[in-house]
Chain A
Amino acid sequence: MSVVNDFSIQVATVNGSGSQTANLVLLRSIFQMGVPVSGKNLFPSNIAGLPTWFTIRANHRGYIARKKEIDLLVAMNPETAKEDVLTLEPGRTVVYDEPLKLNALRDDLKFYPVPFDKIVADVCPDAKLRRLVKNMIYDGVLARLLSIDLAEMEKALGKQLGKKPKAMELNGNALKAGFKYASDNFEATDAYKIERLNKTEGQILVEGNAAAAMGCMFGGVTVVAWYPITPSSSLPESLIGYLRKYRMDKQSGKATFAVVQAEDEIAAIGMVLGAGWAGARSMTSTSGPGISLMSEFAGLSYYAEIPGVIFNVQRVGPSTGLPTRTAQGDILFAALNSHGDTRHPLLLPGSVEECYSMAIDSFDLSERLQTLVYVMSDLDLGMNTWMSPTFTYPEKPFDRGKVLDEAKVRELGASWGRYKDVDGDAVPWRSLPDTKAPSFFTRGSGHNAMAVYSERPDDYQNNLDRLARKFVTAKSLVPAPVVDLRNGAKIGVVAYGSSSFAMEESRDQLREQHGIETSYLRLRAYPFTADLDDFIRRHDRVYVVEQNRDAQMLSLMKMDLDASLITKLASVLHYNGLPIDARSITDGILAKEGK
């Protein structure tokens, strides 16, 4: 029996062995055949030598979350080969490096031995390059076994290697040699098959960090300060590439942006706030340890009301944690980041498309509210390759927020106060240096509505209360949740961020395999809007799905929601460092439903 367009491939290699090109070529060739696909890199915090796994999922229904089970294993790494084989479900397929003799381990799997070293010696005369070219051979083998059109693989290779003719030739030969070896030595193709579909038309393949970087560029960022940290670095690094290419002023040839690699994350956020204070659209990108270091400045932004954007590409904490594994573990910390009473708006991208669009929106929101905005991505979204509809060009003009211009200065006159609520939305008017507007003195210490130093109890409390009202205003500005209500559904599910795709797939499993209909609310921001209250009210039980141990989003809900709603909430949690998968969510909900 063959399994068409619905399986997962795991390639086990050694970090630094050049497998990335082969893996992306495999991914892209399936994509080019019109089959929805996603690719996840499970890699160690290491440059070379430790085991790494690349997982590709092909699915005709368009599921692009991680699949829990592995269907086809490519075992190239002697270190992990034995364990990798032993953990497979019966009936699965293994392509392996012949000398590893993995076929001796089990008799309930389909084995394909391939003498990689022998084949590569024939196609790559230069012994030094063989290690890099070797991996392309398994692509050729898989093309044959899975019925992937070899021409599509060659096209994908061209996309990866582009203008490097020598590399193209070597890798192309390895690809063909692998295909030939499989044709000559294996009787038939495998049970797993890729057949042409038309479900990737108009779609792109992109990583969330690159998508966010594009969003920052189209969002008009002008000052970027950052410090290297996994899994965030590829965001500013992609951004540097885009800015250099697309944001040099045509007439003068000069830069319409400034990028600084700061000395640490404290300096990075200091630069962001200095720039935001002086009127630039500024951002930084970091991960958990960086957020910890930025805490003091985060409080300054909240209290002195200075815009700025932080991308938090979350990884596993606490402390150093697992730098190359994913989590949604910074929700509570980011929302309340800093000492004293502090709250920050969070944007929660649930796809690479939203990494892009929320990057654009984050600058508007930050300048409108005059406060830091966190965009809470994670390693799974940020560093993995996702299929997505093409991005939409932003037609909405920038919202630079309440910045005093000459007309407003005339209107407000001497009554202007930097922290005075004149419009009833608790958002004051700010004045920028180097304009005709009046100057003022910014401080993180006590101040009154006129920005004058004050230790008066009423000044302090009034200011804090206004900031709380400003956070209420934020509710009307942040993106509303996406709600899918189903008739008769008694159970509601709430998820956010990179859990979204697995959540959608889990709902199908619950409906089709277990007869449970659910409604779904996908959170897209904090503060929560009234949509959340309504959603919970409509259902008997609501499961909040998240990728952390302590039910952090649910904890935030407990701070805000009415007690009668809180009792309806229960958590489904996933926190082993791997991207969440549908089966884990389904099992979690079934267990709580007593099924």
Chain B
Amino acid sequence: MSDAPSTPAKKVNRLGLELASYRGSKTTLCAGCGHNAITERIIDAFYEMGIDAKKVLKLSGIGCSSKSPAYFLNQAHGFNSVHGRMPSVATGAMLANASMLAIGVSGDGDTGAIGAGQFVHLMRRNLPIIYIVEDNGCYGLTKGQFSPTADQGSKAKNGVVNELPPLDLCALAIELGASFVARSFSGDKKQLLSILKAAIAHKGTCLIDVISPCVTFNDHEGSTKSYAYVKDHDEILGEVTFVPYFEDIHVDYEPGSTTNVKMHDGSHLYLRKIAEDYNPSDKMAALTLLHDTARRGEFATGVFYVEPDKEDFTTSLNLVDTPLAFLATEQVRPPKAVLDQLMEGLK
């Protein structure tokens, strides 16, 4: 018998792929930036869900957050487009190939300010996309100006005070028609991973607002998006557990305190309740929760709203099964008889 040490089997996912194959290029963001933690969770989520990266489209606008698609899923095609316009680019790409899984990464300025119009209409269309807002309340890449999610009264490094109330992107998304709306914190590994995995299973717009402190411009005292502030004021809606459709379900939650949301693809999203009457399919309950926590100066986190069977935009267009990008000539060029008929009508 050989006593050569046996190499432990490498850990792989259901596609037989290692975690490393889901990585991207090296980050160029600041050390400690919350966005890097989000990137790590995205990598974990796609790995654990066993998604073929070749079937993923990564899209972004402009800003620190929008750089991050370069840092995950190297095997996927990526598109760092123009400021505030990721939603339209993503929409076009998904129309061209509705069989893809789109993940868009944006920031609070990219989404809440310059891109507010496109954000509104993407939510309204319920385009199938995981739309992540890496939310730090400031413009990092232009050195710390306030964004529309900066809290009223918070103070910038140069002493300027933000006098305007913030936008609540989650409340907006629920109101506008997104079918999966959640908030998390870049530092909350477990919750963020569960939410991302559930979003991968969902078909429709998943708006995930991730509080992600800017370590360079917005992590000081007086900033409501600093690590310290969020840790003290994070009201976790409940524990979020996600069980993909391909895993056995072992859940030890007591039935009375857990909501089981059956996702479109057969997966299960479990929300352990804080409030006994919280119902993630109730828009008004979700909006009330967001308003109440905001009034107390707290951030609710978790999955606020899910509508697993809401028709998504590409489905509503009744597209042929083959992606439009790959249709053969005879499918997209009508025969000569059609032209003849048109000409006859104009004579």
Name A's B-contacting residues (CB within 8 A).
Answer: 202-206, 214, 217-223, 225, 242, 246-247, 249, 252, 254-258, 260, 262-264, 266-282, 296-297, 300, 390-391, 393-394, 397-398, 431-434, 439-445, 453
Closest 10 CB pairs of A and B: A274-B92, A270-B88, A279-B325, A280-B96, A271-B92, A278-B96, A275-B92, A204-B346, A274-B89, A220-B332
Question: B residues within 8 A CB of A300?
Answer: 81-82
Chain B positions 62 through 87: 1 when the CB is less than 8 Å from some CB of chain A, otherwise 0: 00000001100011111111100101
Interchain CB contact under 8 A, B321 and A254: yes
Question: A residues within 8 A CB of B317?
Answer: 255, 258
Question: B residues within 8 A CB of A391?
Answer: 339, 343
Interchain CB contact under 8 A, B333 and A220: yes
Question: B residues within 8 A CB of A281?
Answer: 332
Q: Is B97 an interface residue (CB 8 A)?
A: yes
Interchain CB contact under 8 A, A214 and B78: no
Q: Is B16 an interface residue (CB 8 A)?
A: no
Which of B2-10, B115-123, B162-170, B179-187 contacts the other chain? B115-123
Residue of B55, B70, B96 touching A223 (CB-CB under 8 A):
B96
Residue of A246, A279, A439 touching B338 (CB-CB under 8 A):
A246
Q: Across the A-B interface, how many residue pairs have beta carbons closer than 8 Å?
A: 206
Interchain CB contact under 8 A, A255 and B318: yes
A260 to B82, CA, bound (A): 20
* Closest partner residue, chain B, to A403 (CB atom): B325
CB B95 to nearest CB in A, in angstroms, measures 4
Interchain CB contact under 8 A, B97 and A279: yes
A279 to B79, CA, bound (A): 14
A263 to B88, CA, bound (A): 9
Question: B residues within 8 A CB of A445?
Answer: 80
Interface majority SS (helix, strand, loop, mixed), chain B = helix
Interchain CB contact under 8 A, A433 and B97: yes
A260 to B94, CA, bound (A): 12
Interchain CB contact under 8 A, B318 and A254: yes
A189 to B147, CA, bound (A): 75
Interchain CB contact under 8 A, B326 and A279: yes
Interchain CB contact under 8 A, B329 and A220: yes
Interchain CB contact under 8 A, B320 and A249: yes
A260 to B54, CA, bound (A): 26
Question: B residues within 8 A CB of A264?
Answer: 117
* Closest partner residue, chain B, to A267 (CB atom): B88
Question: A residues within 8 A CB of B55?
Answer: 434
Q: Is B336 an interface residue (CB 8 A)?
A: yes
Interchain CB contact under 8 A, A254 and B88: no
A338 to B92, CA, bound (A): 21
Interchain CB contact under 8 A, B347 and A204: yes
**Chain B CB within 10 Å — which of A258, A282, A432, A442 has the most?**
A258
Question: A residues within 8 A CB of B90?
Answer: 274
Residue of A277, A440, A453 touching B89 (CB-CB under 8 A):
A277
A542 to B30, CA, bound (A): 61
A206 to B345, CA, bound (A): 10
Question: A residues within 8 A CB of B89?
Answer: 270-271, 273-274, 277
CB B66 to nearest CB in A, in angstroms, measures 10
A260 to B325, CA, bound (A): 16
Question: B residues within 8 A CB of A394?
Answer: 333
A246 to B335, CA, bound (A): 9
* Closest partner residue, chain A, to B83 (CB atom): A296
Interchain CB contact under 8 A, A393 and B320: no
Question: A residues within 8 A CB of B80?
Answer: 441-445
Interchain CB contact under 8 A, B96 and A222: yes
A271 to B89, CA, bound (A): 5
CB A373 to nearest CB in B, in angstroms, measures 16
Question: B residues within 8 A CB of A262?
Answer: 88, 121
Interchain CB contact under 8 A, A254 and B319: yes
* Closest partner residue, chain B, to A223 (CB atom): B95
A433 to B102, CA, bound (A): 11
Interchain CB contact under 8 A, B332 and A282: no
Interchain CB contact under 8 A, A255 and B92: no
* Closest partner residue, chain B, to A272 (CB atom): B92
Interchain CB contact under 8 A, B78 and A222: no
Chain B positions 298 through 336: 1 when the CB is less than 8 Å from some CB of chain A, otherwise 0: 000000000000000010011111011111010111101
A259 to B77, CA, bound (A): 24
